Amino acid sequence: MSETSTAAGTSVQTSAQALACARCGALIADGYVPVAGRASFCSSCRTLVEAWPYPQWLKLGLVGLLVLLGVALVHGEKYFRAGRTMYKGERLVEEKRYAEALPYLKETLKIAPRSDKAVLLTAKAALLTGDMQTAGAAFDGHDSGKFENGKDAEFLEVSAIWNRAVDAMKKAQAAGKLAVHEAEAARMMHEAAAQYPEMPSLRIAADSYDGGVAFEQKDYDTFLAISEKAWKEHADANSASGMASALGCKYAVTGDESFRQRSEEMLQRAFEMAKGDAEELKVLNEFAERNKYRLESRVILTKAEYDKRFRSAQAAKQ
């Protein structure tokens, strides 16, 4: 008797006189001796059922697909690379090592800018290291900031950080426009820095505004203390010139030659640090002129006062 993987009838004839093939129904005339209880087959069907061949198209199809798979895997090597960098970046983000995660995630975005996961991880790492530019670029490169699931927890988290950062930047820009009202500008900048502490430049700017307030109030000790703090935390041409300015003020007020010497030294350092930066050198050259006047005359003028007294006269002469 035959059993089937699916229901299908198979007839069996066991007559000794007229033996028919159970498969094709042809009479079996080759002297085949049937086995009791088992189906009988003609010679051609017997060959077939004992070794059913794999169709040629099946064999070729499988070989073809395996070759194509090889091609796809070679062609898709970059996807494995992108996946590797994305998961490495993901792990680092989970461990709150955002600065280390960012290079990996940027690599992923080169290959998969439309991956929600990669973009959100990159934006999160960038925003939490104060790098709004990278975060913005990641969003722009991803369907102009459109995501599949606006209720996804990851999306909502990154969205909240982005909005916080944008608000802080708006406050910082507003502070920058309050040129005359140093105290108000300082207050706003401190708010911006508190709102987005991940961006150190906001805090540095807030300290700088504090220095401006101290200068305005003629509190040169505070001005110097703030400048020293800025120099210690981020030594660059800007903080060096800030130190030079504060030291120049202290010399102007006290007459202590050590302040003058240090002011000149800091200005020299500022020029060394600004080498190659045309914009920075331009600013330094402008400041150097005013600082020189401050050290020689021991008169402290704001930039506006100096411009009004000396530069507008020069412009008039020209």
Partner 1 sequence: MFFIPGPVIAALTFPGVIVHEAAHLFFCRYFQLKIYNVCFFRFGNPSGYVIHEPSENFTAMFFVSMGPFFVNTLLCVLFCTAAFLPVWELKVFDPLAYFFYWLGLSIGMHSFPSTQDLSNLWTMAPKLAKQGNVLAMVSLPLAGLLVVLNYARVIWADLGYGIAVGVLGPIAIFKALVR
Q: Which stretch binds partner 1 (CB under 8 A): 75-83, 150-158, 233-241, 288-296?
A: 75-83
Q: Which is nearer to partner 1, 81 or 298 (CB)?
A: 81
Of 27 and 71, which has the nearer Cβ to partner 1?
71
User: Helix 278-297 crosses helix 237-254 at what angle (to 10 degrees)?
Assistant: 10
CB of residue 129 vs partner 1: minimum separation in angstroms?
Answer: 21
Give the total residue count for the chain.
318
Angle at 240 between CA 236 and CA 243, to 5 degrees: 145
* Residues sharing a CB contact under 8 Å with residue 1, sequence separation 6 or more, in sequence order: 12, 37, 38, 39
Site string for partner 1, 4-33 (x = CB under 8 A): xxxxx-x-----------xx----------
* Residues 51-70, interacting with partner 1 (CB under 8 A): 51-52, 54-55, 58, 65, 68-69
Q: Which amino acid does the sequence have at 68?
A: L
Distance in angstroms (rounded) separating the CA atoms of residues 193 and 213 = 17
Residue 29 C-beta: closest distance to partner 1, Å: 21
Q: Is residue 3 near partner 1 by the rule CB under 8 A?
A: yes
90 vs 280 by CB, closer to partner 1: 90
Contact 228, 234 (CB under 8 A): no
Q: For residues 124 and 96, give the distance between their C-alpha atoms in angstroms, rounded to a whole number.
A: 10
- Rg (alpha carbons) of the chain, rounded to whole number: 41
* The token pair that represents 179 in the structure block: 């040129």
Residue 110 CB, nearest distance to partner 1 (Å)? Answer: 11
Each residue 171-200 as x (binds partner 1 by CB under 8 A) or -, in order, gives ------------------------------
What backbone phi and psi angles, to 5 degrees, belong to 309? -80, -40
Among 11, 47, 91, 309, which residue sits at the site for partner 1 (rule: CB under 8 A)?
91
Closest CA to 298 of 262, 241, 260, 268: 260
Q: Which stretch binds partner 1 (CB under 8 A): 78-86, 198-206, 281-289, 298-306?
A: 78-86
Please state the closest distance from residue 149 (CB atom) to partner 1, in A. 12
Residue from 17, 18, 31, 50 touching partner 1 (CB under 8 A): that is 50
Long-range residue pairs from 288-291, CB within 8 A, at least 24 positions apart, any chain: 291/244, 291/245, 291/248, 291/263, 291/267
110 is an interface residue for partner 1 by CB under 8 A: no
Residues in region 118-137 near partner 1 by CB under 8 A:
118
Residue owning tokens 């700017």: 205
Distance, in Å, from the CA atom of 300 to the CA atom of 217, rounded to the nearest integer, reads: 12
DSSP code, position 54: P
Residues that contact partner 1, how many (by CB under 8 A): 47
The span of 44-52, 123-131, 220-228, 243-251 binding partner 1 (CB under 8 A) equals 44-52
Residue ranges that bind partner 1, judged by CB under 8 A: 1-8, 10, 22-23, 38-39, 48-52, 54-55, 58, 65, 68-69, 71-73, 75-76, 79-80, 82-84, 86-88, 90-91, 108, 111-112, 114-118
